[in-house]
Amino acid sequence: MYQPMLALHWKQVRFGLIPFVVAAFALPLLAVQGLGSSIAMMDADAYRRALTFNQGLLVFFPALAASIGCVLALSSWNWDHQQKHVYALSLPIARWRYAALKMGAGAVIALVPTIAFGIGCLAATASVELPAGLHAYPVQLTVRFFLATLMAYSILFALAAGTMRTTIGVFTAAFLLLLLSGPLNHFLVQMDPMREHVHVVEWVATRIVESPGPLQIFVGNWSLIDV
Amino acid sequence: MAGRVASLLLVLLATATPLSARQSDEELRRKIDSLAPLIVEAEAAARAAVEAQQMEKMGEGAVPVDTFGVGPLLVVARREQRGLATAIFSEALESFGPWLDESRVIGDALVAFQWARELVPITLEDEHRRVESTFFRSRAEIVENARHAVGSMLTADLAGSPTAGWFAGPVAEPLEPSRVYRLLASLPAEINQRCLGEGGVACWTALGLDADDWQMDEWYSDDQRRDFAVQLARFFERIDRPIPLGERAVADCVDGGSIAACDQVLRQRGSGRTYAPLHRGDARPAMVYLAMQAGGDGAWARMLQMGEAAPGDALRYASGLSSEELGDLWHAWVLAQRPEVQAGLGVGSLFTLLWILAFAGLAMRSSRWRLG
């Protein structure tokens, strides 16, 4: 049962994945551009500029992982939505098992861009000669990339697996939080003036992106080359 | 507004007037120079207008402020934030030793403080620093800002001295100390690598202490200097510009590989400061801060006594330590600042896996197939 699911999902997504695979391979190479040439190795300014430029590129790593996760999640349910779930309902299989197989198929396909990313990282680090104090972290970064892809994939997968009512509920809750954060803050400040420096949306966002929040993997250290 | 008008006049003059043969560069320069007083006047008028506007707003807003002491500091804050300001500055002052009281500037200058939803103008006529932020900043950041305001007041104590020119930053522990470690580790200068491994005198030298204008041979290896000089010569050749490096020296360096010729090439390009490792960022201010902490009571007073002395002499005298001891102190500090590499991947990845499983569980429990 698993193999047909995998084949089906792969058929759905393979062409859409091509640009992401190319980007996953190319981004690490771009991130080391300018490092390692002799002029950069010597001149503090040139080296600092190159490193700063590369640090700026690092935001694209988690963004790419998130994009791949989204594409995989949406494509995994695309066929079901189009066929009104008739095919899935006709299978002699429990709903939970069907969803688990489908999710497993997407997770395996996520390995394709991850492997491209890993090769890109290894090629990039092999192309530069680093001074003694710096080290390359291609394997750790690839693991991080895979986990971030899976994280984005699982969130979107869960949303896409649910009913429209659930999706609307989640987004409405987020919207209401944004909308009501002002009055809520005002209320809190009235209750206790020392709370003026606590902002509800900021507090929630911090809980989400800081450990052990679900999105902490996206905001950690994504450096390919570090001390 | 007046400043803008003056700038516009300047631009119009520079662009609308054709550069004819009759109008020499000298004439143009004289005309532009004649506008300088006008610009100064306009800028002063603009500043006065802004201040008047602020005073007017102060009157409208009528936010009462208090002036009060926190340790050796004189703080001006909104009345309702007096307690908060006292707490913030007390916390900030904890990182300084008793030597802070010896500062001339700190006893005289004011610090304007507010941390609020909306900032109101707190107008001060005397010399002052500001620690002002909206509540989007965290408390930790505000404390850091307060600490740096104090650090920059200490620096003002040394204004014009060779030491202040050498470290050029606030006398406080850096806001992001890990950046100093990254700077030390990532620059390939030979001396940086020696400092990282050995500490002591190597770190002292890497910080450019007791340095004359040219220490390239102490900072970088022969190969590194030769490599850079060759690259430099090739760069001038590639852009097809006359080589200002001395053709003989270039030939001896590039073709003959003579390190003396390469040094000559590098010297002609810039001073030692151009190449000095660790002359940027917070590496040097951190050394001053650590030296003061080590010197303890009386350290800052001794530092002020050494106003015209070279930075190395001033630090040794103020701290009571030798160059090697100070280098070791800085080395131990910088090693402790090593950032967590690939942060969050350890335990964080376990949490991520748990979240992934949780979302998978939600997906399996979803109700799309339930009818009715």
Inform me whether the pLDDT recorded for B8 exceeds 60: no
Beta-sheet pairing, B110-116 with B128-134: parallel
Contact list in A for residue B84 (CB cut-off 8 A) is 194
Inform me whether the pLDDT recorded for B155 exceeds 90: yes
Give the range of the structural domain holding residue A144, as residue numbers without chain letter: 2-163+217-226
Kindly report which listed range (A50-54, B118-122, B263-267) carries the lowest average pLDDT score.
Answer: A50-54
Q: Whose CA is closest to B333, among B272, B274, B292?
A: B292
CA distance readout (Å), A216 to A17, A150, A206, B367: 25, 13, 9, 29
Q: A115 CB contacts (<8 Å, ≥6 apart)?
A: none
Contact list in A for residue B270 (CB cut-off 8 A) is none
Task: Assess contact for A99 and B366: CB atoms under 8 A.
Answer: yes
Q: Is the dihedral of CA B80, B84, B87, B92 positive or negative?
A: negative
Over residues B31-44, mean pLDDT: 84
pLDDT of residue B21: 47
End-to-end Cα spacing for chain B:
69
A76 lies in some domain: yes
Nearest by CB: A133 against B185, B227, B280: B185
Over residues A201-211, mean pLDDT: 82
Quick one: closest CA in A to B133, which residue? A197
Q: What average pLDDT does chain A have?
A: 82
A101 lies in some domain: yes
pLDDT of residue B240: 66
Contact list in A for residue B231 (CB cut-off 8 A) is 38-39, 42
pLDDT in tens, A121-174: 999 989 887 777 778 889 999 999 999 999 999 999 998 887 777 778 888 888
Inform me whether the pLDDT recorded for B116 exceeds 60: yes
Tell me the pLDDT band of B270, cut-offs 50, 70 and 90: low
CA distance readout (Å), A158 to A8, B94, B119, B166: 19, 49, 43, 58
pLDDT in tens, A14-42: 999 999 999 999 999 988 876 755 444 44
CA distance readout (Å), B55 to B49, B61, B97, B276: 10, 10, 38, 46
Q: What does the block give as tokens for B79?
A: 């009345």
Over residues B95-106, mean pLDDT: 90
Inform me whether the pLDDT recorded for A52 exceeds 60: no
Q: How many residues does chain B have?
A: 372
- Rounded Cα gap, residues A61 and A65, in angstroms: 6
Tell me the pLDDT band of B235, cut-offs 50, 70 and 90: confident
In this structure, what DSSP letter does residue A161 have?
Answer: H
Task: Give DSSP secondary structure letters for B104-170.
Answer: HHHHH-EEEEEEESS-------SSEEEEEEETTS-HHHHHHHHHHHHHHHHHHHTTTSHHHHHH-S-
Inform me whether the pLDDT recorded for B280 exceeds 80: no
Q: What does the block give as tokens for B302?
A: 């001794």
Contact list in B for residue A89 (CB cut-off 8 A) is 369
How far apart are the CA of B340 and the nearest CA of chain A, in angstroms?
Answer: 8
Tell me the pLDDT band of B357, cut-offs 50, 70 and 90: very high
Tally of domains in chain A: 1
Residue B353 burial (10 A CB sphere; 0-12, 13-18, 19+)? middle
pLDDT of residue A178: 79
A92 touches chain B (CB under 8 A): no
Tell me the pLDDT band of B94, cut-offs 50, 70 and 90: very high
A64 lies in some domain: yes
Kindly report which listed range (A81-85, B15-19, B132-136) carries the lowest average pLDDT score.
Answer: B15-19
Total beta-carbon pairs less than 8 A apart between chain A and chain B: 174
pLDDT of residue B89: 93
Q: Do B366 and A216 touch (CB under 8 A)?
A: no
Tell me the pLDDT band of B367, cut-offs 50, 70 and 90: low
A65 lies in some domain: yes
* Phi and psi at residue B366, to the nearest 5°: -65, 160
Q: Helix crossing, B346-365 with A138-161: angle to 10°? A: 20
- Three-state SS at A93: coil
Inform me whether the pLDDT recorded for B255 exceeds 80: yes
- Three-state SS at A222: coil
Contact list in B for residue A96 (CB cut-off 8 A) is 364-365
Task: Assess contact for B248 and B260: CB atoms under 8 A.
Answer: no
Tell me the pLDDT band of B368, cut-offs 50, 70 and 90: low
- Rounded Cα gap, residues B172 and B54, in angstroms: 32
pLDDT of residue A36: 59
Q: A160 CB contacts (<8 Å, ≥6 apart)?
A: A73, A74, A76, A77, A167
Kindly report which listed range (A15-29, A120-134, B67-81, B291-305) carries the lowest average pLDDT score.
Answer: A120-134
How far apart are the CA of B328 and the nearest CA of chain A, in angstroms?
Answer: 18
- Rounded Cα gap, residues A136 and B342, in angstroms: 11
What is the percentage of chain B residues whose pLDDT exceeds 70?
83
How far apart are the CA of B165 and the nearest CA of chain A, in angstroms?
Answer: 20
A189 lies in some domain: no
A6 lies in some domain: yes
How far apart are the CA of B51 and the nearest CA of chain A, in angstroms?
Answer: 28
CA distance readout (Å), A83 to A77, A103, A160, A170: 10, 19, 15, 25
Q: What average pLDDT does chain B have?
A: 82
Kindly report which listed range (A22-31, B14-23, B138-147) carries the lowest average pLDDT score.
Answer: B14-23
* Higher-scoring residue by pLDDT: A60, A42: A60
Q: Whose CA is closest to B228, among B184, B259, B273?
A: B259
Quick one: closest CA in B to A182, which residue? B117
Tell me the pLDDT band of B320, cut-offs 50, 70 and 90: very high
In DSSP terms, B129 is beta-bridged to B111
A46 lies in some domain: yes
Q: What does the block give as tokens for B215?
A: 């220490």
A177 lies in some domain: no
